[in-house]
Amino acid sequence: MSSYISLLRTPGVGRIIAAQLTARFPGGMLSLAYLLHIERVHESYGAAGLVLAATSIGQAIAGPLTSRWMGVWGMRRVLVLTLIVCATSIFSIALIPMSVPVYMLVGFLGGLSTPPIQPAVRTIYPKMVNSRQLTPLFSLDASAQEIIWVAGPVITTFVATQVSTQSAIILAGAFLIGGGIWFIASPEVGRVRIPRSKRSFGTVLKRPPVLLATITGFLLVGACAAVEAGVVAVFGHGGPEAGIVLAVFALGSLVGGLSLGHLPIGPWALARRMLVVFVGMALAMAWLDFWWLSIALLVAGIGIAPALAVIFAIVSSSVKFSDTAEAYGWVGTGQLIGAAIGSAIAGFLIDANGAIGGFWAAAAFALLGFVVPTLLRRWHPDLRGREVGPIPDTAPVPVQPS
């Protein structure tokens, strides 16, 4: 824990983590809030699913695109523009009754304009701490983001059921605006200038570590999405059991990230962490009981934040600084696609085989998530004894005074 205490004592680290988590908090709220609101308006879960799909497609396209724009126009300009458009989309869905196709269009625009805060902050981190502190910082970040997925759905459900579905969406928009302004106003965002990349769009995916991180992230998040569908199918919506089990799952990730985040990253690091995830999800298939699922998913969760930390570290250490934001954008897009496909496959298997089908899908995704970095371990950089940080560009990186 001393490494994390030292990190939080570094000027600006605690503030930038808190600001970006606040701005990204709607990520744990909007899907459920849109689902509840549009189902209420149109009395159709199918209609709500179409809007969520359109929003997710927009987010997937936006990931690498808006991230790359930050090297062209600057972080603050891109973040301010996307924040305005995204907030307008969110409040429009909350306040204006629309037909399903129009909801889909507005949701797509909102997804397309999602502020690239995650790529921005992970591009900033290497400029805030030394190379020795970077891996623990990525682990702390991955662990802290579990707060979004634990508290977000709980707050959304409470506000939507006790006040209104509109209020739940508006609250998510308020988090986006408040956290976004806080993050954009942070001095670190003004100090770091991403150089314009000299490579064509998408070239960064030719870097084996970036491709490995994108594929493994896709499989990891797909497994998590399938588990969530399976847990909800087991316990339904009538009681707190599903929420408690998923909270334990996230708690395992938090504990794993804080306890394992300081370990050196060798060529087997990602495979070992994904093996922990697979073992936990495979155990979950044995018995669909509340206590057994809680224990099994606690085990699975222990590998999640450490795996994400390794993904972020190998990307950061394998590309030039001018390409880091786009690289993280592709990783994020892979994770979004994984979430959509994992949920869809789990849904089909649940319809055909009952709740156990969701856990079959989760275990299959997690097994592939272990096999891929095992077979492609030559793509995995050995960061033991190496500096963890982006490759310097040939030209000096401008640093603007705050």
pLDDT computed for residue 192 by the predictor? 73
Percentages (nearest 5) of helix, strand, coil residues in the chain: 80, 0, 20
CA distance to 38, 138, 148, 159, per residue, from 29 (Å): 14, 23, 8, 11
Residue bearing tokens 């250490």: 317
Let me know whether 205 and 112 are in one domain: no
- Assess if residue 398 is contained within a domain: no
d(C-alpha 320, C-alpha 191), whole Å = 18
Instruction: Report which of residues 91 and 382 the model is more confident about.
Output: 91
Let me know whether 164 and 68 are in one domain: yes
- Assess if residue 370 is contained within a domain: yes
Length of the chain: 402
- Chain centroid to CA 237: 24
Asked if 309 contacts 138 with a C-beta cutoff of 8 angstroms, the reply is yes
CATH code of the domain in which 304 resides: 1.20.1250.20
Asked if 190 contacts 312 with a C-beta cutoff of 8 angstroms, the reply is no
Asked if 389 contacts 304 with a C-beta cutoff of 8 angstroms, the reply is no
pTM listed for this prediction: 0.75
Going by C-alpha positions, the residue among 143, 109, 112, 146 that lies closest to residue 312 is 143
Q: State both tokens at 399.
A: 């640093």
Share of the chain above pLDDT 70, in %: 89
pLDDT computed for residue 397 by the predictor? 47
Let me know whether 202 and 192 are in one domain: no
Let me know whether 191 and 210 are in one domain: no
pLDDT computed for residue 166 by the predictor? 93
Ranked by mean pLDDT, the top range of 24-33, 129-138, 190-199, 392-401 is 24-33
pLDDT computed for residue 322 by the predictor? 67
Has residue 170 got a pLDDT over 90?
A: yes
Overall domain count for the chain: 2
Q: What is the pLDDT of residues 316-336, one digit of tens each?
A: 778 776 677 778 878 888 887
d(C-alpha 226, C-alpha 246), whole Å = 12
d(C-alpha 272, C-alpha 252), whole Å = 16
Instruction: For residues 342-361, give the mean pLDDT.
Output: 85
- 399 DSSP β-pair partners: 192
Q: What is the pLDDT of residues 249-271, one digit of tens each?
A: 888 888 887 787 667 788 899 99
Taken in order 371, 375, 381, 384, the sign of the CA dihedral is positive
pLDDT computed for residue 248 by the predictor? 86
- Assess if residue 394 is contained within a domain: no
Domain containing residue 222 = 197-385
How many other β-carbons are positioned within 10 Å of the β-carbon of residue 121?
24
Let me know whether 256 and 360 are in one domain: yes
Of 178, 196, 214, the residue that ends a domain is 196
